Amino acid sequence: MKKILMLMPYFGKWPEWINLYIESCKYNPTIDWIFFTDCGEPDNKAENVKYVSMSLDEISRLISIKTGVRISLDNAYKLCDFKELYGMIFEDYTKGYDYFGFGDIDVIYGNIRKFVTDDIMEYDAISFNKNHVSGHFFLMKNIPKMINICFILPNIKPLSLWRWLTFKRNLRKSEYISLDESYLNHCLLENHNISCHFSESYNTPLSPHVKWVDGTFLFPKEWYFKNGKLTNDKDKDREFLYFHFMHWKGGRWARKYGNAQWEKLDKLINFDFKDAENGFKINEKGFFMI
């Protein structure tokens, strides 16, 4: 079985659901996660989830050393622009792994190996959105051409060269530019020596751009996690790779499309995480026991 390591820098304060996120990692024991963080360790422990204590200044210096791009981060969210460079930045941690990945923590995982099969793991890049990089869960083969993909000078075409120079400038900007999805997409599509697997896993309901499994914009209203399996009220016994709940969580994208229901709630978690092994459900009112 090919080994996978998820590289997860996170700074500031853990979200309220972090122990339930860890619970879903725990049910994927053949995959490892490593957090680089100043948040300390959550209460929920999992053997396949490790932590490296690191400040924002320390990771800024590490990025500058590993990439040659001098930066000083004052906004932790800017780290998302460096996701496509994590293989380079954290190369000291990825030794012995076949794949490394990056993702978000506003997700609950299902049975990952049910979807990330041996056949899929022949590709250099694996995305779980049909037409673009899935920044909330994305895998790259741990080989030099993928580690260095964004720093390899593209074909000398005016548009490609402009994108490459713009990418390097944007890395130094303080605000988040969405390089993890936009520029990486261009690199994957323009480099014919890289094999890519793009498939729709229906991971982000309430998106106004992606229809659901049945071809409609009628989405599940409730999700269920039990014994490592992730299902919902609409698709019954069908299992899903992960549930990305960004539209309930909130933020500018969710508010733009009339969502962000959780921003109005006083609390999200309505049970002790230690009871999570009995299963829990997620809806627009938060997290509850099944």
Give the pLDDT of residue 132. Answer: 87
- Mean pLDDT over 61-89 rounds to 92
Judge contact between 142 and 87, C-beta under 8 A.
yes
- Mean pLDDT over 176-198 rounds to 83
Give the pLDDT of residue 182. Answer: 77
- Which distant-in-sequence residues (6+ apart) come within 8 Å of 137 by Cβ? 101, 103, 104, 107, 128, 203, 241, 242, 244
CA pair distance 170, 179, nearest whole angstrom: 8
Q: Determine the Cα angle at 107 with ends 122 and 36, to 5°.
A: 80
How many H helices and E strands in the chain?
9, 13
Give the pLDDT of residue 59. Answer: 97
3-state secondary structure of 130: coil
Give the pLDDT of residue 193. Answer: 87
Q: How buried is 172 (Cβ within 10 angstroms: 0-12 exposed, 13-18 middle, 19+ buried)?
A: exposed
The 10 Å Cβ neighbour count of residue 90 is 22
Residue 188 has pLDDT above 90, yes or no: no
Residue 157 has pLDDT above 60, yes or no: no
Residue 46 has pLDDT above 80, yes or no: yes
Give the pLDDT of residue 231. Answer: 98
- Mean pLDDT over 57-86 rounds to 92
- Which of the four pLDDT bands, split at 50, 70 and 90, describes residue 284? very high
Residue 196 has pLDDT above 60, yes or no: yes
Give the pLDDT of residue 158. Answer: 47
Judge contact between 66 and 89, C-beta under 8 A.
yes
Among 71-85, 128-142, 163-177, where is mean pLDDT lowest? 163-177
Quote helix, strand, coil % in the chain, to nearest 5.
30, 20, 50
Mind listing the pLDDT tens digit for each residue in 166-179? 887 888 888 888 77
Amino acid making up residue 279: G
For residue 123, the enclosing domain spans: 4-289
Cα-flanking dihedrals φ and ψ of residue 87, to 5°? -60, -30
CATH of the domain at 237: 3.90.550
Q: HEC states along 137-153? A: EEEEECCHHHHCHHHCC
Q: Identify which has the larger pLDDT, 185 or 221.
A: 221
Give the pLDDT of residue 154. Answer: 54
Q: Per the structure, how many domains does the chain have?
A: 1
The 10 Å Cβ neighbour count of residue 71 is 18
Among 59-63, 64-68, 286-290, where is mean pLDDT lowest? 64-68
Mind listing the pLDDT tens digit for each residue in 242-266? 999 999 999 888 998 889 999 999 9
Mean pLDDT over each residue of the chain, to the nearest integer:
92
- Strand 286-289 vs strand 280-283: parallel, antiparallel, or unpaired? antiparallel
Task: Write down the pTM of the prediction.
Answer: 0.94
